[in-house]
Chains A and B, each alone.
Chain A
Amino acid sequence: MTHLPNHNHDPSIATIEVKNLVVHYGPRKILDGVSLRVFPAEILVVLGGSGCGKSTLLRTMLGLLRPTSGQVLIKSKDITRLNEDELLEIRLRTGVLFQSAALFNSMTIEENVSLPLREHTALNDATIKIMSRIKIGLVGLSGYEDFLPSQLSGGMKKRAGLARAISMDPEVLFFDEPSAGLDPITAAGLDDLILKLKKTFKMSIIVVTHELPSVFKIADRIVMMDKGLVIFDGTTEEIKASSIPRVRQFIEREPEGDACQTGQFLEALNCG
């Protein structure tokens, strides 16, 4: 039933390769052998219902969670076997935008954005200031440098989080639900921003989401997960033409069968 991926890419140039990842939370198996590849300058969207393990996959790919078995190869290094010091080098080349933006509340936007630069580079203050202002400008937040995160709206926080994620010019960028909780216009703005980043910086971008409109707009390739398994891997056109029932159900937004038995309930009412 699994759709075999038809890659136009040579597997050896993959930026990230996930092989047979199995992850448990205590005794519960969350991921059951997930494999996928991310190529340079590509936006890969990971799609799937709530609770199917998307965030878990992301956290494992970031080295925040150790898998039970399987590999995560980033630049041909298996990050699940590296210790924190060895991971550092890879972490400096990846940026993450968390679901809740995860800005540091006690710091201003500019301090948030410049933090990685201040901690990991030997640049002087003036250069750091210029560099972080460029990134803040790129996400359209010029003028808000001295605001605290609590003074920003949800969409602005996401954009500030994005500015921080790209402050070190990463090669790989991870997004966990970038448009969740945003209005359609703001969400579309964020999608444009993601596309712009891919075009200007040639980043590999992994987006976890279940917002269909934004999926079709930004995705180069889509991986769909269900119950800890990859059930689809292909392009936007392929997913629209797919005949896998679970995939169809997802893109046509059909409810779970028998989720609420309205008919029976009404019948019972009529009889009573």
Chain B
Amino acid sequence: MVRYLLGYIGRQAGRAVANLHQAARLINQTAYWVTIGSFKKGVRVGSLIHEMTAVGFNSIPIVAVIAFCIGMILALQAAYQLRRIGAMVYVADLVCLSIARELGPMLTAIIVAGRSGAAFTAEIGSMKVAEEIDALVTMGLNPIKFLVVPKFMAMLLMLPCLTLLADLTGMVAGGVIGVASLGLDAGVYYQQALRAVAMKDIIGGLVKSLSFACIITLVGVHQGFLVEGGATSVGERTTSSVVTSIFLIILADCFFTTLSYIFT
């Protein structure tokens, strides 16, 4: 029994180390092809545009709708508390600050992890099952350069843009609720929001979203390359891709927020 357990732990640990090793190689190669490699050999512009459309443009509606809802929810919850102390005008501070610093980047990252991260895994996974990755290699085309780099660059470019969109939509939604049902004046909300949110809040959020972009792409792509066998494996890896991304996003956010709390 003990031997069985130890054996199990050993095998799991071995697998984890092998996975880590693979992930490190993936990160290493991706870093090379995104930087030096793309200067030397160029970027596949067509694929980049295609991925940017898939990752960025097609996510606009869902990101906007969810950010709008979150802005509304925040405004209503804030009003609930602030009404009691008669400080309704601070609804603007609360909504805009929490969206710019936390909710905008994180929500966008989670939506994109569910949409595009999962799509990355499914695409690469099914290519692996259908021997398409092997075909790429035998044709002398590097799968990292060919498949991963356009996704990585598209994600790095589009996730901050989507985050800005989410920030803006969420703040406007807070204003809409403020004016429509809390009796705030639009001008007052606007002035208060401008006073509350500093440039560094927005930029801090964007920096976070860059790190989330790395997490989503690398996890999605890595899980895709781990697919073995058939369609079941693609499904399992896709689930695991989304769960791992979201977990790491929240972990990273936790880390960043702690850091900025300590240093300000």
Residue numbers of A with Cβ under 8 A of B are 59, 62-64, 84, 87-88, 91-92, 94, 96, 98-100, 102-105, 115-116, 119-120
Instruction: Please give the distance in Å from A172's CB to the nearest CB on chain B.
Output: 11
* B-chain residues with CB within 8 Å of residue A88 when the two chains form the complex: 140
In the A-B complex, the 3 residue pairs with the smallest Cβ-Cβ separation, listed nearest first, are: A102-B135, A91-B140, A102-B131
In the assembled complex, the Cα of A94 lies from the Cα of B135 at a distance in Å of 11
Which chain B positions have C-beta within 8 A of A92?
A: 140
Q: Given the complex of chains A and B, what is the CA–CA distance between A211 and B204 in angstroms?
A: 64
Chain B 117-143, CB within 8 Å of chain A: the 1/0 string?
A: 000000000010011101101111110
- Contact residue among B130, B138, B141, B142 (Cβ-Cβ distance under 8 Å from A100): B130
Asked if residues A64 and B140 are in contact (CB atoms below 8 Å), the reply is no
Inter-chain pairs besides A94-B138, A96-B134, 19 sampled, C-beta below 8 Å: A63-B138, A64-B134, A88-B140, A91-B137, A91-B138, A96-B135, A96-B138, A98-B134, A98-B135, A100-B131, A102-B131, A102-B132, A104-B135, A105-B130, A105-B132, A115-B139, A115-B141, A119-B139, A119-B140
The answer on a CB contact under 8 Å between A116 and B134 is no
Residues of A within 8 A of B140 (CB): 87-88, 91-92, 116, 119-120
CB distance B134 to A102 under 8 Å? yes
**16 A-B pairs (CB sep. < 8 Å):** A62-B134, A64-B134, A64-B137, A87-B140, A91-B139, A91-B140, A96-B134, A96-B138, A98-B135, A99-B131, A100-B130, A102-B132, A103-B132, A105-B132, A119-B139, A120-B140
Write the nearest CB–CB distance from A59 to chain B, whole angstroms. Answer: 7
Q: Which residue of B lies closest to A176 (CB)?
A: B131
Q: Which of A63, A84, A94 contacts B142 (CB 8 A)?
A: A84
A75 CA / B84 CA spacing, docked (Å): 85
CA A131 to CA B95, docked complex, whole Å: 61
For A100, the chain B residues whose CB sits under 8 A away are 130-131
